[in-house]
Amino acid sequence: MSYAPVRARLDAGELVVLDGAIGTEILRREVTWADHQLQTRPELVRSIHSSYLAAGADVISSNTFQLSRRGFMQHFKDAEHMRHIGASGLETRWAELVQAGVRLAQEARQAAGLGDSVAVAGAMTTLEWCFRPDLAPSGDAADAEYRELASVFAEAGCDLLLIETVNSVREAVAAARAARAVGLPCWIAFVPDEAGNLFSGETLAQACAALEPLQPDALLVNCAPPSDIALGLRQLVRHSSAPVGIYPHIGRFDPPEWMFTDEYPPPRYLELAREWLASGARIIGGCCGTTPEHIAQLSTRLRM
């Protein structure tokens, strides 16, 4: 079980370095996002994982952001319409892509000879668009969908679930329950607004309280600019009994892709990461726009 070294580090109050962006790194390497490149360009995805491993990440996450049954269904009127006009195999493609995503991360770890010292996180996110809590499905539907998704990740053999860019308490609880049901450690990362609250209007204090009975293994904030995200981090440090982490994005969202900016080159990112560490963050990585060079700064200069 590859989560044990990560748990030991967190228990000792030591830093755990999470990887950086994959989706935007695919773009930076000048190809497109189609099918997450899991089936058409597996070597590209594997090489990005390898770069993060070489950069010293303790946890690498699968390139599976927003892959779900619902994600495919959204393109159609209903299941019958999908069968009628869609390509064959669409009903199970999401699960095949999730499995492929976890496998590529595992293969990169094996190729690097890192064995159990690095954990592979299965990356999943909100069932609907992560910046739109108003679109989220109701409690029962969310529970069932998360359970199905988590079980595919568990079968694929990931070491923990990283539930990212979560925008409401209800969805965080549904995701954490699903992780518990399949027996995987879970990290839940919330997207905070400039005031350090969730997009649903709820507070991170409320989120921490609601998750407490489920004993998440870590709570984090992600996918907000460094200038916005520190307030969210402060809330988590104050209210979470679990270890706390942070991985902001850098650059600008330019739908459906990403615009890279030079506001936070790796040395500047390191300076900020020192502040996050001093504030209490023990898991630090990068979201959209970050690169292996950013992660290398963290792993070589930030460890105590």
Query: Residues interacting with Zn ion, by CB under 5 A?
Result: 223, 249, 287-288
Q: How far is the CB of 184 from Zn ion (least distance, A)?
A: 22
Compare residues 103 and 232 and give the one whose CB is closer to Zn ion.
232
φ, ψ for residue 29, nearest 5 deg: -90, 15
Going 195 to 201 to 203 to 204, the CA torsion angle's sign is negative
Tokens of 139: 């409690």
Closest CA to 13 of 290, 238, 208, 280: 280
Compare residues 5 and 225 and give the one whose CB is closer to Zn ion.
225
Q: Radius of gyration over alpha carbons of the chain, in Å? A: 18
Compare residues 66 and 200 and give the one whose CB is closer to Zn ion.
66
Q: How far is the CB of 170 from Zn ion (least distance, A)?
A: 21
CA distance 106 to 21: 17
Compare residues 154 and 175 and give the one whose CB is closer to Zn ion.
175
Q: How far is the CB of 255 from Zn ion (least distance, A)?
A: 13
Compare residues 95 and 189 and give the one whose CB is closer to Zn ion.
189
What burial letters (b/e) apply to 103-127, b meaning 16+ CB within 10 Å?
bbbbbbbeebeeeeebbbbbbbbbb
Compare residues 208 and 287 and give the one whose CB is closer to Zn ion.
287
Closest CA to 173 of 217, 141, 142, 198: 142
Distances (CA, A) of 243 to 1, 158, 221, 283: 20, 20, 12, 8
Q: How far is the CB of 239 from Zn ion (least distance, A)?
A: 23
Distances (CA, A) of 184 to 1, 175, 191, 198: 10, 11, 22, 25
Q: How far is the CB of 228 from Zn ion (least distance, A)?
A: 12
Q: How far is the CB of 287 from Zn ion (least distance, A)?
A: 3
